[in-house]
Amino acid sequence: MNNAEALLEATGLNAHYGQSHVLQGVSLRIARGEAVGLLGRNGMGKTTFIRTLLGQVKATGGRVSVAGRDMTGQPPERIARLGIGYVPEGRGVFPNLSVRENLVMAARAGTKGQRDWTLERVLKTFPRLAERLSHGGGQLSGGEQQMMAIGRALMTNPDLMILDEATEGLAPLVVAEIWRVIGLIRASGIASLVVDRDFRKVLAHTDRCVVLEKGRVVLEGPSAELAADEAALHRYLGV
Ligand SMILES: Nc1ncnc2c1ncn2[C@@H]1O[C@H](COP(=O)(O)OP(=O)(O)OP(=O)(O)O)[C@@H](O)[C@H]1O
């Protein structure tokens, strides 16, 4: 893989919360179309890493580039405009707008002018949302809100989707539905960065995984290899 192919690249990323050194030189690269999992126990820095990539947490060292452009320290809106769809932990939908409005207001062409993801395609992907188009965002169940958050990110026609704990707190049937869509996103050629407590599912839905421990990368490799490495899974993920 050469530089030209990296869609997103973090090099030696550091971040602090006050005195607490939460990211200690994390490097990670994602190629176009590649599905990457970010694993690690609670509090190891996964969400902070994502928020630092996106400019929501200030990097205290290191570099972030998107499609070859240095984006370190740039405001979150600028970084998002470079083709990154973000589904944050805890969803982030507008409760006073209808499902249709929530989706339509997110719509834009992708970095290459592509408009592959239209309202119709999102509704076909999530039939549940099609049935609730005129409902307010705040009236939706937790699972439906999560679907809408993913739908909103898809409406931006991203090159990369970042999904942080997209299945958290949802009923098993809805969880299965979200994983089905994560599979569809991967198959459609959009790159992804996936964080989820269910590391077996993450391993099954990604090409490669990176494991964080106390703000450092302690393990990385092809997902299929890691899935077979029970000793490493036990050591770093506590199973
Ligand atoms: N806004 C904040 N201010 C201070 N400390 C924070 C803040 N957010 C997270 N932390 C701390 O930073 C460390 C990394 O947290 P982070 O949320 O990035 O981990 P994580 O791997 O995503 O875990 P989880 O799965 O629990 O979200 C933890 O010790 C956490 O308590």
Q: Does some domain include residue 26?
A: no
Domain count along the chain: 1
The answer to whether the CB of 43 is under 6 A from ligand 1 is yes
**Which of 22, 38, 54, 164 for mutating ligand 1's site (highest number of atoms within 8 Å of CB)?**
22
HSE-CB at 169 with a 13 A cutoff on CA atoms is: 10
Task: Render pLDDT for 115-172 as a digit per residue (tens, 0 to 9).
Answer: 999 999 999 999 999 999 999 988 999 999 999 999 999 999 999 999 999 999 999 9
Q: Does some domain include residue 95?
A: yes
State which residues form the domain around 207: 32-56+74-237
Q: Does some domain include residue 9?
A: no
| pLDDT at 90 (0 to 100) | 65
The answer to whether the CB of 24 is under 6 A from ligand 1 is no
Interface predicted TM-score of the whole assembly (ipTM), two decimals:
0.93
Q: Does some domain include residue 232?
A: yes
CATH code of the domain covering residue 189? 3.40.50.300
The answer to whether the CB of 22 is under 6 A from ligand 1 is yes
Q: Does some domain include residue 98?
A: yes
| pLDDT at 238 (0 to 100) | 84
Cβ(140)–Cβ(186) below 8 Å: no
Averaged confidence pLDDT in the chain: 93
Task: Render pLDDT for 159-198 as a digit per residue (tens, 0 to 9).
Answer: 999 999 999 999 999 999 999 999 999 999 999 999 999 9
| pLDDT at 147 (0 to 100) | 94
Helical H segments across the chain, by residue range = 46-53, 76-80, 99-104, 119-125, 127-130, 142-155, 172-187, 199-204, 223-227, 230-237
